[in-house]
């Protein structure tokens, strides 16, 4: 038996721990393991396919990033090919990929990635390839699994930033806005905002009113708390408005959301008269060592992916449905959506703590 592992989409802390676990569980069964570099580029002659041995995964569980590297422009069904005139043409190279995998004697693939990778995996399964998936995103918005690895690490990074912002905000009596990742989901902002004792949390699932945000700042001032910490999910939008786009992406990439925090800071300063500052935490949230929780989840997912192959669960994704790890058919995952429940326990708890959602 020879399996191959690929990491696709944006990186997330814990990817290396999944790779390590997959390799160890496969080696223990006497299987061979290959690593496909940079998404599926390695299987298209655009990068390497490397052997993954006991030595290649030694001492990597605590490392951020991915030893296999990654890309979010590498769908074999829509592969960017540079043309002589500098333009990019998208071509279907899936047959080439399947032929190359066959030539290398690859029996099955573990694809570690987010929704884009899940779609690619399903398309490959439809063409007869044996693929199982491991969900990955710091945003925690993959349906059918309680958590994805990388989320806990990202939340910890934001909480650490909030601790630091608190001391400077309090010293200067300032309003401090911090924009955090999450795309269309507010999990990072909500979890970190509650854990890091923010005063205002703005998430895409609860459209905010600028008036209400300003009222919350002024109310704190009146109660003697002269600073405020505002956590803003990059996808947050005002009532009747839409998520702001930070800029154009490269062709073939998803739009980059965010940038809401800067205009919002200006408006808060104008309307409340409070000195206001903002920052975008950005890719710091994707880097660094995975937390213990994420390393454990990654290791469980890596081991389970090998079990999924053993049980021939082609087209399934491993998922945490506590306390169990289960295998969910990819179409089931892709047909649903996971967002913060505005009536759920964490939002309710936040409101009980006096946190305003600007609504
Ligand atoms: O999906 C993970 C994520 O980090 C989002 O939270 C964020 O909007 C996006 O990726 C950033 O992508 P990129 O690394 O392409 O800028």
For a pLDDT cut of 90, what percent of the chain falls above it? 92
CA separation for the pair 199, 351 (Å, rounded): 10
pLDDT score of 248: 64
For a pLDDT cut of 70, what percent of the chain falls above it? 98
CA dihedral 308, 313, 315, 321 (to 10 degrees): -60
Under 8 Å between Cβ of 2 and 107: yes
Q: How many residues does the chain have?
A: 359
Runs of H (alpha helix) within the chain: 15-28, 94-103, 115-126, 151-172, 187-195, 210-222, 261-272, 292-310, 330-334, 345-352
Beta strands in the chain (DSSP E): 2-7, 32-36, 49-51, 79-82, 88-91, 108-113, 131-135, 175-180, 200-202, 228-233, 245-247, 256-257, 276-280, 316-321, 324-329
CA dihedral 242, 181, 18, 42 (to 10 degrees): 70
Question: Residue 232's pLDDT band (boundaries 50, 70, 90)?
Answer: very high
Q: What is the pLDDT of residues 295-325, one digit of tens each?
A: 999 999 999 999 999 999 999 999 999 999 9
Please determine, for residue 87, whether its predicted confidence score (pLDDT) is greater than 90.
no
Nearest CA to ligand 1 atom 10: 10
Task: Give 261's contacts (C-beta < 8 A, 6+ positions apart).
Answer: 177, 178, 179, 232, 278, 279, 280
Classify residue 297 as exposed, middle or buried by CB count within 10 Å of its CB (0-12, 13-18, 19+).
Answer: buried
CA separation for the pair 74, 231 (Å, rounded): 33
- Answer with the residue of higher pLDDT: 143 or 244: 143
Question: Residue 352's pLDDT band (boundaries 50, 70, 90)?
Answer: very high
Under 8 Å between Cβ of 18 and 298: yes
Instruction: Kindly give the distance from the C-alpha atom of residue 246 to the centroid of ligand 1, in angstroms, as a whole number.
Output: 11
Nearest CA to ligand 1 atom 13: 10
User: Which residues are the active-site residues?
Assistant: 139
Ligand 1 atom at minimal distance to the Cα of residue 182:
6
Please determine, for residue 7, whether its predicted confidence score (pLDDT) is greater than 80.
yes
Question: Residue 36's pLDDT band (boundaries 50, 70, 90)?
Answer: very high
Tokens of 275: 């000195």
Place of tokens 């491993």: 318
Rounded mean pLDDT of the chain? 96
What domains sit in the chain, N to C, each tagged with a CATH number? Answer: 2-149+290-322 (3.40.50.450), 151-287+341-352 (3.40.50.460)
Ligand 1 atom at minimal distance to the Cα of residue 183:
8
Instruction: Report the pLDDT averaged over residues 97-105.
Output: 98
Question: Residue 243's pLDDT band (boundaries 50, 70, 90)?
Answer: confident
Please determine, for residue 9, whether its predicted confidence score (pLDDT) is greater than 90.
yes
Residue whose C-alpha is closest to residue 35's, from 75, 64, 8, 72? 8
> Which mutation among 148, 150, 181 tests ligand 1's pocket best, with the greatest number of atoms within 8 A of CB?
181
> Which mutation among 9, 10, 11 tests ligand 1's pocket best, with the greatest number of atoms within 8 A of CB?
10
Instruction: Kindly give the distance from the C-alpha atom of residue 341 to the centroid of ligand 1, in angstroms, as a whole number.
Output: 22
CA separation for the pair 132, 8 (Å, rounded): 13
pLDDT score of 119: 97
Q: What is the pLDDT of residues 37-50, one digit of tens each?
A: 999 999 999 999 99
> Which mutation among 139, 204, 236 tests ligand 1's pocket best, with the greatest number of atoms within 8 A of CB?
139
Instruction: Kindly give the distance from the C-alpha atom of residue 255 to the centroid of ligand 1, in angstroms, as a whole number.
Output: 9
Please determine, for residue 256, whether its predicted confidence score (pLDDT) is greater than 90.
no
Tokens of 29: 């069964």
Question: Residue 245's pLDDT band (boundaries 50, 70, 90)?
Answer: confident
- 3-state class (DSSP) for residue 318: strand
Task: Count other Cβ atoms within 10 Å, centred on residue 159.
Answer: 17
CA separation for the pair 285, 12 (Å, rounded): 9
Please determine, for residue 139, whether its predicted confidence score (pLDDT) is greater than 70.
yes
Under 8 Å between Cβ of 132 and 112: no
Tokens of 308: 């999924």
Under 8 Å between Cβ of 20 and 61: yes
Instruction: Report the pLDDT averaged over residues 240-247.
Output: 80
Instruction: Kindly give the distance from the C-alpha atom of residue 272 to the centroid of ligand 1, in angstroms, as a whole number.
Output: 32
pLDDT score of 247: 66
Q: What is the pLDDT of residues 160-214, one digit of tens each?
A: 999 999 999 999 999 999 999 999 999 999 999 999 999 999 999 999 999 999 9
Nearest CA to ligand 1 atom 11: 256
pLDDT score of 268: 98
Question: Residue 246's pLDDT band (boundaries 50, 70, 90)?
Answer: confident
Ligand 1 binding pocket, CB closer than 6 Å: 10, 72, 137-139, 181-183, 234, 256-257, 286
Question: Residue 353's pLDDT band (boundaries 50, 70, 90)?
Answer: very high
- 87 CA to centre of own chain: 30
């Amino acid at each position: 038996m020879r399996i191959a592992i690929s990491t696709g989409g944006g990186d997330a802390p814990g990817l290396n721990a999944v790779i390590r676990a997959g390799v160890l569980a496969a080696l223990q069964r006497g299987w061979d393991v290959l690593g496909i570099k940079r998404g599926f580029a390695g299987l298209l002659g655009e990068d390497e396919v490397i052997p993954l041995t006991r030595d290649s995964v030694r001492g990597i569980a605590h490392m951020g990033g991915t030893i296999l590297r990654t890309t979010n422009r590498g769908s074999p069904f829509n592969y960017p090919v540079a043309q002589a005139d500098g333009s990019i043409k998208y071509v279907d190279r899936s047959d080439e990929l399947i032929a190359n995998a066959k030539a290398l004697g690859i029996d099955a693939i573990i694809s570690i990635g987010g929704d884009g990778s899940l779609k690619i995996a399903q398309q490959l399964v439809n063409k007869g390839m044996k693929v199982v998936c491991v969900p990955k995103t710091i945003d925690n918005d993959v349906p059918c699994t309680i958590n994805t690895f990388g989320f806990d690490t990202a939340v910890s990074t934001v909480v650490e930033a909030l601790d630091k912002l608190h001391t400077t905000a309090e010293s200067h009596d300032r309003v401090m806005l911090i924009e955090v990742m999450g795309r269309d989901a507010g999990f990072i902002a909500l979890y970190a905002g509650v854990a890091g004792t923010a005063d205002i949390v703005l998430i895409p699932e609860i459209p905010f009113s600028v008036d209400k945000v300003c009222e919350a700042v002024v109310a704190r001032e009146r109660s003697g708390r002269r600073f405020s910490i505002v956590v803003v999910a990059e996808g947050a939008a005002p009532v009747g408005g839409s998520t702001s786009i930070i800029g154009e992406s490269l062709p073939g990439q998803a739009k980059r959301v965010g940038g809401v925090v800067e205009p919002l800071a200006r408006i808060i300063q104008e309307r409340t008269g409070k000195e206001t500052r903002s920052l975008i935490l950005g890719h710091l949230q994707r880097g660094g060592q995975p937390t213990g929780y994420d390393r454990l989840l990654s290791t469980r997912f890596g081991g389970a992916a090998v079990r999924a192959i053993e049980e021939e669960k082609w087209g399934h994704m491993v998922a945490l449905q506590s306390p169990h790890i289960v295998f969910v058919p990819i179409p089931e995952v892709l047909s649903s959506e996971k967002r913060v429940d505005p009536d759920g326990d964490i939002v309710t708890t936040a409101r009980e703590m006096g946190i305003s959602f600007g609504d």
